[in-house]
Structure 1
């Protein structure tokens, strides 16, 4: 697929925040061929958010998804429902009324089951990548603030996927990229978040390890820069509900991220974290992109960026599919 008239030095496809969606992961792996990309980059938040029990009650099955109750008569209907659940990024599991009651009464068992399902999906995704990708395409993955630390080890064990967290990686025509899934503080107290001062120290340490000029540097930072327009999220009340039915938005990005971009002026800075804030912005010479996320619809939002070694990135396209 040709977006521009001449071949760039490096074409990057970037997506983020797929939150366990099986459909989005498959589309991500296919993106290299579809967009003729040399490099695939998946930003943070790979894992899903919820278990969905599919209960066998007598000769029938039942389940509840997003407060809607479903009943099924046979294996085909159950399988279709489970596929729809996986497409939305959740984890279906089959059970009985008795087993479900035991799980509901035992928080530790529920957490262990969620943990197994979540890590099992990541393991399957890495096997899928090993089968579908070849050495002609570099694929970098960086878990995000919502992802447990065990995810890193599974990604690290893959043959065709490279764990990018905390590293300087090289690709293409002399480009280097730094990545982190850590964010500033959120109301949800997730796995990888820190105070702005500590986050700034982490980012400075990575940026200081780069060995290329700014026009050959890429920052892959899950959290978007504060006040960039790529960090506008619905304002929430003290009881964690959207204010004004979600119409009121506020900037929630990181001031540390903005500061290191202003100082380092990389050619490109890739972000996610705020699903609603799809778009691009310039901070000095740096092109900042947040492709957004529509994982629950099975839609992969992304960005194709052509890097040609110039002082500014001039050619990019936000994609959906």
Structure 2
């Protein structure tokens, strides 16, 4: 059986640059599979206000910007390059955004759907021969599930098992344990454990499978992040930011229990690396999406084994 080469990455958070690099990596590295492990969408919206007298204004990167109609496409492009979502609107709509949180959520949701559809439309051109597998992460809203499911260009994999090739499977779960950010897909450790166990039960062969769980295992060196206080500010100890493990005890529990071939994780941007838990090699590529850097792992599977795990960055 020939090798299956996978490019695994995660946590793009609206970076058009990183998404394009991810798609281009399929042909660059002759990959059979592109596996995106969640957190696709942006965290920031930038209103571009249509002025009654003509032109537009926006507060972008701390500056008030005024542009003509001709300058609108370029400004929208610049905003997207910074991983933000441009929203062209009237002054009345801006006022509504400041007063109606439900309206904010709806607008944000519509912009995220538009962005993901744009991304998916690039796949046939940039990665026509690769199987593209995507599962959401804890930051991704549920409305995106239908967008991914309806696309002929991707395999949607959330709380489900997908085949990487004829022999190797991936059990995919994008939910996380509780975070300070109260994101859409987070739950208690008990609830997460139930989701993991249900998904794992669908595997045909755990020994040759990958656990593609967005959150890394607890206290594994690939889950280290700054400790925050109740105001979400870093806690300092001894004059330095305190760093603590924030991964999932449930994810660690099922890895220790079942010992799959690989654990493919993301979620904690500042904690890339590889660690072994028993026989299972677990990786987190990390993320520097705001810098336009693709951080990934090249994974080669052959004969029920991982013959290659190589970090990719650029």
TM-score, normalised via structure 1 length: 0.89
Q: How many residues align?
A: 311
Match of 1:234 among 217, 226, 233: 226
The answer to whether 1:172 aligns with 2:179 is no
Match of 1:183 in 2: 176
Cross-structure match for 2:100: 106
Structure 1 residue 243 and structure 2 residue 238: aligned? no
Who is 1:210 aligned against? 203
Q: Say if 1:72 and 1:78, in contact at 8 Å, map to a contact too.
A: no
Map of 2:214 onto structure 1: 222
The answer on whether the counterparts of 1:28 and 1:300 sit within 8 Å (CA) in structure 2 is: yes
Query: Aligned in 2, Cα 1:22/1:310: closer, same or farther, shift over 3 Å?
Result: same
Determine helix, strand or coil for the equivalent of 2:73.
helix
Matched, 1:128 2:122: yes
2:57 to 55, 62, 75: 62
Deviation at 1:103, TM superposition (A): 3.0
C-alpha separation in 2, matches of 1:278 and 1:222: 13
* 1:258 matched to 2:252: yes
**Is residue 206–residue 259 contact of structure 2 (8 Å, CA) maintained in 1?**
no
Does the 8 Å contact 1:133/1:160 carry over to 2? no
1:198 to 191, 195, 208: 191
Map of 1:143 onto structure 2: 136
Shift of 1:133: 3.6
The runs of 5 or more residues in structure 2 that have no matched partner are none
SS at match of 2:122: helix
Distance 1:161 1:272 in 2: 20
Contact 1:59 1:73 in 2 (8 A): no
Matches within 5 A, 1:28-47: 28-47=22-41
| C-alpha spacing 1:65/1:248, structure 2 compared with 1 (3 Å) | farther
Deviation digits for residues 9-35 of structure 1 (CA, Å, limit 9, x no counterpart):
111101111112222222222121111
Partner of 2:79: 85
Matches of 1:192 and 1:93, distance apart in 2: 25
In 2: Cα distance, 1:102 partner to 1:110 partner: 8
Instruction: Report the RMSD for the aligned CA atoms in angstroms.
Output: 2.1
Alignment gaps of 5+ in structure 1? 1-6
C-alpha separation in 2, matches of 1:309 and 1:170: 14
Q: Is the 8 A contact 1:9 1:172 kept in 2?
A: no
Tell me, in whole angstroms, the C-alpha distance in 1 between the residues paired with 2:142 and 2:90: 31
The equivalent of 1:161 in structure 2 is 154
For 2:240 and 2:248, the matched residues in 1 are separated by: 21
